[in-house]
Amino acid sequence: MKLPEIVVSSVQYGQVVLFLGTGASLGRQVSNGKHMPSLDSLRDVLSTRFLNGQYRQESLQWITELAISETDLGTVQDFIANQFREIQPADFYSILPTFRWRGIVTTNFDRLVETAYEKSKNRVQELVPLISNNDRIDDKLQPSNSLALLKLHGCITRTQDPKLPFILTTDQYATHRENRNRLFKIFYEWCYESTVIFIGHNSQDADLRSLILQVLNEVKNRPHYYLVKSKTTEIEKSFWESKRITVLESGLEDFLKCLDQSILKNLRPLAQAFQIQHPIQRKFIKNEPVIGSVKDLLTHDVEYVHDAIETQESKPKQFYRGFDLGWYPIIKGLDVRRRLTDTVIGDVIMKPNSDRTTISELYLIKAEAGAGKTTFIRRIAWEAATQANVTCLFMHPLNSINFEAVRELYRLTNERIFIFIDEAADNISLILKLVEDARQFDVPLTIVTAERLNEWNMSCNSLSEYVNNAYQLQYLSKNEIQTLVNLLSKYDSLGSHLQKKTVE
């Protein structure tokens, strides 16, 4: 398994929240050779112990409630806890404490994570389990190397508190969250600024889907998330991708071992969790705030292109009627992906630095009026940022760019900066200055600009000698026209005069 570079770098800089489900514990053995009980097997042993084997076909929640009515809450929860107490973490769990995490969340009752940290001599953080609102959360997390472990469903160490019953099913969230709602709030705060990686969850896991739905409702703009799960179908992958959650086909063991091979051990204790003020800080190699010229640049002059970029909700029909809706049609896939896209991505974005002949570059997209150049360079910027994971800035119309801010951004990221500028004829002086300054100060910079053919030929001669390569965006091909017709039909935007007609 090869992990995406963005996942590795996020872990390296302490920006990841691990969310461990039951699959992260299943298969671990106890000292007498028995395995971790599943929820179904837990239901069966509860039925046997408290209900003379009756009601095995009923839900775990109902059997638990019946068992409590026959005895009391503490007795039942002690019995449940005893099913988990002897469980020990597998050897690969020793990798977990060697990384710096933003936080760890679990719906498991067991102490596998706690035991792994207690045994580790190489842990880079001190684990702080949090189970209820009364855990003096602020005091416990005050040391800088503290790592919160949010145990949302309870823990086998607390079985006698009637105000903190185990959460055994999704239905119990509504009634049992009262004394642990601060834990959920902490998790939602993490979701705003950190990459969440879900491990050990089944696609049909009601807990996971319930929490995801709440996160989507609570957190409107967030980083991309990941679901580590083996044996996933394309339909399942598409389902999760629609929620901006990418499936990584693996399990906890392979995931940790891949991280172990990808990040040098001597770098892990040095990693510091960022205080995220702006999404671009995830690219920073140093824990520094966004201030000064960089802040001005990102606030007023350009948009930092990333997978959680803000966009105003609109309707597809507005886009097909010719309205400029910014990133909305790109994110929603309303545009026709042009044949030229892969060529530009390969030649301009993915080119190794060793193959670039100049430290600063200028690439031109030229097209006849109406060919769709503005949408095209937005598409290039979006795929470059979200798929190739390069640093992309898209300049606002009628604005300018301070080179010193670009230079500072390079210092903070140590990555080539890609700037997208539409309407080259209106920005000739700016483009010339950026290219020349970047060469003078050795700042790796690639500018992608676009212009209509006649405007370029009449007004942009001074830029021609700086152009590394030019690409002409043609009008839609036959296949692209068919794709457009399909999109128009899908979004009820096909005019009456085109209905029931084919491309031929």
Residue 29 has pLDDT above 50, yes or no: no
Whether residues 190 and 302 share a domain: the answer is: no
Tens of pLDDT, residue by residue over 119-131, are 999 899 999 999 9
| Residue carrying the six token digits 């503005």 | 374
Name which residue leads in pLDDT, 185 or 313: 185
| Percent of the chain whose predicted confidence (pLDDT) is above 70 | 90
- Asked if the structure places residue 496 within a domain, the reply is no
Whether residues 250 and 186 share a domain: the answer is: yes
Supply the pLDDT for residue 498.
57
- Asked if the structure places residue 480 within a domain, the reply is yes
Question: What average pLDDT does the segment 300-307 reach?
Answer: 94
Residue 150 has pLDDT above 50, yes or no: yes
Whether residues 163 and 197 share a domain: the answer is: yes
Question: What average pLDDT does the segment 406-423 reach?
Answer: 94
**DSSP track, 306-371:** -TT-------HHHHHTT---TTHHHHHT-SPPPTHHHHHIIIIIS--GGG-SSSEEEEEEEE-TTS
Whether residues 348 and 461 share a domain: the answer is: yes
- Residue pair 192/218 in contact (Cβ under 8 Å)? The answer is no
CA distances from 275 to 280, 381, 414 (A): 12, 26, 19
Residue 367 has pLDDT above 90, yes or no: yes
Q: How does residue 274 score in pLDDT terms, banded at 50, 70 and 90?
A: very low
- Asked if the structure places residue 33 within a domain, the reply is no
Supply the pLDDT for residue 292.
80
Residue 181 has pLDDT above 90, yes or no: no
Please state whether the predicted TM-score (pTM) of the whole model is above 0.85.
no
Supply the pLDDT for residue 495.
67
Query: Please, what's the largest Cα pairwise distance for the chain?
Result: 90
- Asked if the structure places residue 409 within a domain, the reply is yes
- Residue pair 24/252 in contact (Cβ under 8 Å)? The answer is yes
Residue 30 has pLDDT above 50, yes or no: no
Number of structural domains (the chain) is: 3
Tens of pLDDT, residue by residue over 445-457, are 999 999 999 999 9
Whether residues 177 and 307 share a domain: the answer is: no
The separation between CA 201 and the C-alpha centre of its own chain, rounded to angstroms, equals 17
Residue 433 has pLDDT above 90, yes or no: yes
Tens of pLDDT, residue by residue over 93-104, are 999 999 999 999
Whether residues 451 and 484 share a domain: the answer is: yes
- Identity (one letter) of the amino acid at 57? Q
Tell me which DSSP letter residue 177 carries.
Answer: -
Name the least confident of 11-15, 236-240, 264-268. Answer: 264-268
Domain that holds residue 62: 42-82
Residue 206 has pLDDT above 80, yes or no: no
* Cα separation, 98 vs 334, whole angstroms: 44
* Cα separation, 377 vs 362, whole angstroms: 14
- State the CATH number of the domain containing residue 295: 3.40.50.300
Supply the pLDDT for residue 497.
58
